[in-house]
């Protein structure tokens, strides 16, 4: 499968592939790797998001994370393009590499072939979560509370994040200042749907949350997240059950 | 490169075009740029045709921008005219704005109340849930589309036109609309879910971001201006998800920056009489990154500071950085403190275009615009606008004491509506378990 790699770790037409990457790819479980490729190619968005790549690098030139970390949308599209022949390389990329994407879609706007690398990454992340891959577990774990909140209330950024300085402590003294009076500050917001609401972004009707959880359940979101974050999904299911959804 | 009516083709090659031909050339260049998103401009326009076809077949309901919404036309990147409703608006709130930067919304509501624009601020609304999706992959096309259409159905029931506050919701909804219209399987699956909660597929004829509303209302806002902004230098950060995600559908105006960049926000700054300044990294994102702003913050703040804040301050000496999205305000504002702690000097206040407009119209900087939630030093900027921030701060302290003693704020309310809701009340979930 990886016969195209030469001794220096270069593969398919000059795209640099490091030796360790090739080694890691060889360790990948072939069955899952092929399944991931199949799911990617069968996603309804795939035809819209991938056309052909001429390796021009426009996407990378506009990519924000490329400036700071090891991530290139060009590499993503190249590996997607060759995924049927070399599924292990695509699969290996799902560990850490794709999680660096900012999802800003600068790459999509500048691609002369109309590819949408950010969109491809979004699909790959979704597949990683659905399969409960370790990369997804690592990425989602710090997210647990937010994930629970958004899945049950439909809002995720809430003023109670400012009760302590533990979250967002790099906001400096401003954060501590805000934390001191946060309840009064929030109660004083002159918008009725927001004033005093600490645990949601705004006041959300019970029935609205019920409809949301029903949508997620029916659309398979509970099932897909379960493999990655079982504890969170259990809590979400309990909340849904209490609301009369599960 | 176009200069006057001359088009530079190469180093020593240039052709002169008539004014009409120049416009045509610019239009072609613009359309060429537009052929860079979900399919092509042609595909995008086909999607709009398909939407009308599905309406004729009775498969979907289109929430049209009828005359009762008093629409104003704008040109989008695709070249087509888009109708922006100006009254009777259903406020599609943003989770990030409402949670972290409440002045963003209160300023917008305050402007509408001042201008006598009726609106609906609904508690029967969820966020688009797409911040979570882009960050974590924990959702899917069917769920995102159903969440989108549930919110749109509520707006339709209330007989108010959805105005989307968040750039990500706006971009995500454009993607979802494309998928629902163009993909029969997604449409079938989404309809099945919606039917079970007593709803159906209602798709807005136009998806409208609030910055587009401010753009078309800019003259009316400028007429109500109380402060002189002629000494204020303002830079703009256009939000990626407004103009890069389904790029065809955002507002461009040949009178604003030559029609080569998104018109909203720059246009309101110009209308208010401030100086619009430019910088080399205008195209770069803010560094938000969805996942990164929450769990990989060193990457988000490094990008925000070194690719945006420093270039803006060093290249332009701007007094304020104005943007039109949730994540951008948060990231650009909050990412400055660590760099300052490390000895870097550049800093600039970051606010939304709604806050800038409200301040110019005389809104209270703390009670209405809620600047106390913003980190970067806004004092020099307020002074440039001629606002006595110390007096305002004193007033706000008294206000906060009143609140602490159990007092209630004077809520910003919608002027009386002229349209009646189509129906009210929650829908029973028919199938559960």
Beta strands in chain A (DSSP E): 10-11, 15-16
Note whether B78 contacts A: Cβ–Cβ < 8 A.
no
Strands B61-63 vs B251-252: parallel, antiparallel or unpaired:
unpaired
Taking only the tens place, the pLDDT of each residue in A116-152 is 999 999 999 999 999 999 889 988 888 888 899 999 9
What does R_g of chain A's alpha carbons equal in angstroms? 21
Instruction: List the domain boundaries for chain B.
Output: 51-210, 226-404
| Strand partners of residue B322 | B236, B351
Strands B202-204 vs B61-63: parallel, antiparallel or unpaired:
parallel
Nearest to A220 among B140, B338, B408 (CB): B140
Closest to B295 (Cα-Cα) out of A241, A143, A157, A176:
A143
Pick from A119, A124, A191, A225 the residue to mutate for testing the B interface (most B CBs within 10 Å): A191
Domain covering B226-404: architecture? 3-Layer(aba) Sandwich (3.40)
Note whether A163 contacts B: Cβ–Cβ < 8 A.
no
Q: Which residues, 6+ apart, have CB-to-CB distance to A76 below 8 Å?
A: A93, A97, A98, A101, A117, A120, A121
Cα separations (Å) of B55 from A219, B49, B142, B181, B279?
25, 10, 20, 10, 45
Cα separation, B140 vs A194, whole angstroms: 29
Cα separation, B85 vs A225, whole angstroms: 38
Q: Which residues, 6+ apart, have CB-to-CB distance to B313 below 8 Å?
A: B346, B347, B348
Of the options 1.20.120.160, 1.20.1050.140, 3.40.50.300, 3.40.50.1360, the CATH number for the domain spanning B51-210:
1.20.1050.140
Q: Which residues, 6+ apart, have CB-to-CB distance to B260 below 8 Å?
A: B30, B252
Alpha helix ranges (H) inside B322-388:
326-334, 336-341, 353-360, 379-384
Three-state DSSP state, B296? coil
Q: Do B242 and B262 form a contact (C-beta atoms < 8 A)?
A: yes
Note whether A102 contacts B: Cβ–Cβ < 8 A.
yes
| Strand partners of residue B163 | B91
Minimum CA–CA partner of B333 in chain A: A171
Closest to B176 (Cα-Cα) out of B156, B197, B203:
B203
Per-residue pLDDT at A172 = 84
* Mean pLDDT, range A149-171, rounded to an integer: 87
Minimum CA–CA partner of A244 in chain B: B432
Quick check: A209 pLDDT over 80?
yes
DSSP state string for B315-328: HH--SEEEE--HHH
Q: What is the mean pLDDT of each run of 10 residues along chain B (433 residues)?
A: 57 66 55 46 86 97 98 92 97 93 97 98 96 89 98 98 97 96 96 96 98 98 98 97 91 90 97 97 93 87 96 98 95 95 97 98 98 96 98 97 95 97 70 43
Q: Which residues, 6+ apart, have CB-to-CB distance to B50 below 8 Å?
A: B181, B182
Share of chain A above pLDDT 70, in %: 89
**Chain B nearest CA to A90, separation (Å):** 17
Cα separation, B374 vs A43, whole angstroms: 41
Note whether B370 contacts A: Cβ–Cβ < 8 A.
yes
For residue A84, the tally of other CB atoms under 10 A from its CB is 12
* CATH of the domain spanning A10-131: 1.10.1060
Cα separation, B68 vs A126, whole angstroms: 41
Give the ipTM of the model, two decimals please.
Answer: 0.91
Q: Do A138 and A132 form a contact (C-beta atoms < 8 A)?
A: no
Q: Do A201 and A155 form a contact (C-beta atoms < 8 A)?
A: yes
Cα separation, A161 vs A151, whole angstroms: 17
What the block records as the tokens of B314 is 């060093």
Three-state DSSP state, B167? helix
What the block records as the tokens of B286 is 């803010």
Strand ranges of the sheet holding B350-352, from the earlier edge strand across to the other edge: B275-277, B233-237, B320-323, B350-352
Per-residue pLDDT at B331 = 95
Minimum CA–CA partner of B240 in chain A: A104
Note whether A166 contacts B: Cβ–Cβ < 8 A.
no
Output A3 or B191, whichever has higher pLDDT. Answer: B191
Cα separation, A79 vs A24, whole angstroms: 15
What the block records as the tokens of B81 is 């005219």
DSSP state string for A117-160: HHHHHHHHHHHHHHTT-HHHHHHHGGGHHHHHHHHHHS----GG
Note whether A234 contacts B: Cβ–Cβ < 8 A.
no
Per-residue pLDDT at B248 = 87
pLDDT band of A246, cuts 50, 70, 90: confident
Note whether A212 contacts B: Cβ–Cβ < 8 A.
yes
Phi, psi (degrees; rounded to nearest 5) at A79 = -70, -35
CA of residue A178 relative to chain centroid, distance: 30
Q: Tell me the CA end-to-end span of chain B in Å, nearest whole number.
A: 62
Minimum CA–CA partner of B121 in chain A: A193
pTM of the model: 0.91
Q: Do A219 and B140 form a contact (C-beta atoms < 8 A)?
A: yes
Alpha helix ranges (H) inside B63-140:
95-100, 103-115, 130-136
Question: How many CA atoms, within 13 angstroms, populate the side-chain half-sphere of residue B432?
Answer: 18
Per-residue pLDDT at A113 = 86
Output B362 or A169, whichever has higher pLDDT. Answer: B362
Angle made by CA atoms A182, A188, A194, in degrees to the nearest 5: 85
Phi, psi (degrees; rounded to nearest 5) at B48 = -65, -40
DSSP state of B307: I
* Window B:230-259, CB contacts with A under 8 Å: 240-241, 243-245, 247
Which residues in chain A are contacts of B186 at CB distance < 8 A?
Answer: 44
| Strand partners of residue B89 | B119, B161
| Strand partners of residue B320 | B234
Quick check: A42 pLDDT over 60?
yes
For residue B62, the tally of other CB atoms under 10 A from its CB is 17
Three-state DSSP state, B62? strand
Per-residue pLDDT at B425 = 59
Cα separation, B64 vs B428, whole angstroms: 26
In total, chain B counts a number of residues equal to 433
Closest to B257 (Cα-Cα) out of B26, B8, B45:
B26
Minimum CA–CA partner of A216 in chain B: B143
CA of residue B177 relative to chain centroid, distance: 18
Q: Do B375 and B337 form a contact (C-beta atoms < 8 A)?
A: yes
Cα separation, B87 vs B384, whole angstroms: 33
Cα separation, B222 vs B267, whole angstroms: 11
Strands B2-3 vs B6-8: parallel, antiparallel or unpaired:
antiparallel
* Mean pLDDT, range A232-246, rounded to an integer: 94
Q: Where in chain A is the domain with CATH 1.10.1060?
A: 10-131
For residue B1, the tally of other CB atoms under 10 A from its CB is 7
Cα separation, A235 vs A141, whole angstroms: 14
């Amino acid at each position: 499968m990886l016969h195209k790699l030469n001794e220096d770790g270069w593969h398919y037409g000059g795209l640099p592939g490091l030796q360790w990457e090739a080694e890691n790819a060889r360790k990948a479980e072939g069955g899952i790797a092929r399944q991931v490729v199949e799911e990617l190619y069968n996603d309804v968005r795939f035809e819209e998001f991938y056309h052909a790549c001429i390796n021009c690098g426009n996407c990378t030139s506009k990519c924000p994370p490329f400036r700071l970390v090891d991530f290139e949308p060009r590499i993503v599209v190249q590996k997607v393009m060759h995924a049927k022949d070399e599924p292990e390389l695509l699969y290996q990329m799902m560990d850490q590499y794709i999680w660096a994407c900012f999802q800003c879609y600068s790459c999509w706007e500048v691609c002369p072939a109309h590819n949408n690398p950010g969109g491809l990454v979004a699909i790959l992340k979704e597949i990683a979560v659905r399969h409960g891959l370790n990369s997804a577990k690592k990425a989602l774990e710090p997210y647990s509370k937010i994930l629970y909140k958004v899945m049950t209330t439909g809002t995720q950024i809430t003023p109670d994040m400012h009760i302590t300085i533990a979250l967002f402590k790099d906001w400096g003294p401003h954060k501590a200042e805000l934390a001191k009076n946060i309840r009064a500050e929030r109660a004083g917001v002159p918008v009725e749907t927001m004033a005093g609401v600490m645990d949601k972004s705004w006041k959300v009707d019970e029935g609205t949350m019920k409809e949301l959880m029903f949508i997620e359940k029916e659309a398979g979101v509970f099932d897909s997240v379960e493999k990655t974050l079982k504890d969170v999904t259990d809590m979400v299911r309990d909340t849904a059950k209490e609301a009369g959804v599960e | 490169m176009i200069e006057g009516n001359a088009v530079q083709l190469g180093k020593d090659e240039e052709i002169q075009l008539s004014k009409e031909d120049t416009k045509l050339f610019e239009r072609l260049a613009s359309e060429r740029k537009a052929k860079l998103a979900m399919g092509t401009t042609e595909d995008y326009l086909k999607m709009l045709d398909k939407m009308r076809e599905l309406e004729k077949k009775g498969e979907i309901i289109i929430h049209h921008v009828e005359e009762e919404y008093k629409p104003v036309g704008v040109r989008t990147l695709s070249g087509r005219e888009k109708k922006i409703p100006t009254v009777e608006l259903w406020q599609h709130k943003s989770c990030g704005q409402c949670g972290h930067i409440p002045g963003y919304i209160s300023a917008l509501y305050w402007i509408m109340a001042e201008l006598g624009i009726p609106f609906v601020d609904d508690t029967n609304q969820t966020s688009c849930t797409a911040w979570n999706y882009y960050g974590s992959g924990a959702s899917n096309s069917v769920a995102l589309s159903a969440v989108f259409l549930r919110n749109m159905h509520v707006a339709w029931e209330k007989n108010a036109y959805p105005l989307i506050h968040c750039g990500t919701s706006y971009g995500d909804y454009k993607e979802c609309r494309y998928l629902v219209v163009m993909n029969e399987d997604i449409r079938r699956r989404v309809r099945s879910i919606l039917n079970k909660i007593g709803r159906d597929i209602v798709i807005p004829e136009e998806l409208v971001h609030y910055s587009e509303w401010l753009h078309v209302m800019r003259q009316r806002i400028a007429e109500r201006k109380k402060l002189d902004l002629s000494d204020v230098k303002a830079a703009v950060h256009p939000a990626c998800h407004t103009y890069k995600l389904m790029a065809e559908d955002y507002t461009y105006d040949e009178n604003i920056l030559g029609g080569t960049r998104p018109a909203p926000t720059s246009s309101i700054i110009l209308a208010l009489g401030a100086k619009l300044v430019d910088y080399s990294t205008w195209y770069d994102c803010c560094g938000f990154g969805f996942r990164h702003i929450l769990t990989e913050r060193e990457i988000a703040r490094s990008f925000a500071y070194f690719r945006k804040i420093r270039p803006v301050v060093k290249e332009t000496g701007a007094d304020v950085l104005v943007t039109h999205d949730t994540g951008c305000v948060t990231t650009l504002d909050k990412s400055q403190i660590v760099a300052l702690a490390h000895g870097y000097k550049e800093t600039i206040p970051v606010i939304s275009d709604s806050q800038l407009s409200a301040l110019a119209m005389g809104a209270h900087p703390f009670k209405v615009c809620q600047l106390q939630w913003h980190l970067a030093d806004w004092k020099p900027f307020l002074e440039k606008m001629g606002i006595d921030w110390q007096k305002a701060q004193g007033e706000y302290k008294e206000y906060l004491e009143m609140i602490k003693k159990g007092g209630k704020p004077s809520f910003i309310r919608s002027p009386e509506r002229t349209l009646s809701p189509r129906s009210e009340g929650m829908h029973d979930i028919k199938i559960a378990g």
